[in-house]
Amino acid sequence: MSAMERSSPWRTSAAARGARSDWSGGGRLDKIDPMKTGTKFAIGVAIVVATAGWLMATGIKQSGQYFLTPTELSRKVATDPGFYDVGMKIGAHVVPGSVIRDVATSTLKFNVADGGATYPVVFHGLPPDTFTDSVEVVVEGRLQKDGVIHATDVLAKCGSRYEAVPKA
């Protein structure tokens, strides 16, 4: 073995063992992996970060919700016709006299308005105890193409009995 072969980091290479060092004749080359460990690590980290970013972006897009007033909702629908069936929260007042309760099916129908636009709402379930005509509500649900908001949750603002008494 020559001095050059002894100082080589690949002392057990095919050339050092006397085997043929080309690919054609059964000899094996040990210097197959030209990529360094740091490069492999960087590529792995980049893949993990890209995957985490993609999962966060798609999760936010699917579960993110808008908080709108009826006027803002009507503007949004006018500018983006594909805005239907998107999760949102609507903050508005219940229109007095519009509440229809069906006890047999636990369905509540009412209209919400903010002075500029009005939308009908359908909610299946029990409404909050503080829900009455003209109460301020937050309706969570989706606007359908028929113009009706199908609510999954209705929150009613508590009355003034919970607010601080103004000082004289």
Q: 10 and 79 in one domain?
A: no
Q: 74 and 52 in one domain?
A: no
Stated pTM of the model: 0.59
Q: 44 and 97 in one domain?
A: no
Q: What is the pLDDT of residue 69?
A: 92
Q: What is the pLDDT of residue 24?
A: 52
Q: 51 and 113 in one domain?
A: no
Q: 153 and 134 in one domain?
A: yes
Q: 96 and 120 in one domain?
A: yes
Mean pLDDT of 64-68: 77
Q: Is the pLDDT of residue 22 over 70?
A: no
Last residue of a domain, one of 14, 36, 61: 61
Helix, strand, coil shares, percent, the chain, to 5: 30, 25, 45
Q: 104 and 54 in one domain?
A: no
* Domain extent at residue 17: 3-61
**Confidence grade of residue 30 (pLDDT, cut at 50, 70, 90):** low
Average pLDDT, the chain: 80
Q: What burial class does residue 112 get, using C-beta atoms within 10 Å of its C-beta: 0-12 exposed, 13-18 middle, 19+ buried?
A: buried
What distances in angstroms separate CA 105 from CA 49, 114, 124, one per listed residue? 48, 28, 8
Mean pLDDT of 33-48: 86
Q: 72 and 57 in one domain?
A: no
Q: What is the CATH number of the domain that holds 78?
A: 2.40.50.140
Q: Is the pLDDT of residue 23 over 90?
A: no
Whether 134 and 115 have beta carbons less than 8 Å apart is answered as no
Contacts 24+ apart (CB under 8 A), 51-60: none
Whether 117 and 71 have beta carbons less than 8 Å apart is answered as yes
Q: 11 and 45 in one domain?
A: yes
- The count of domains in the chain is 2
Q: 71 and 34 in one domain?
A: no
Rounded-to-integer distance, Cα 148 and Cα 133, Å = 19
Whether 139 and 120 have beta carbons less than 8 Å apart is answered as no
Rounded-to-integer distance, Cα 128 and Cα 149, Å = 18
Last residue of a domain, one of 33, 61, 89: 61
Q: 106 and 51 in one domain?
A: no
Rounded-to-integer distance, Cα 14 and Cα 125, Å = 77
Q: Is the pLDDT of residue 112 over 60?
A: yes
Mean pLDDT of 23-46: 71
Helices within the chain (DSSP H only): 3-7, 37-63, 70-79
Which of these ranges, 11-20, 45-54, 70-79, 85-94, has the smallest mean pLDDT?
11-20
Q: 73 and 55 in one domain?
A: no
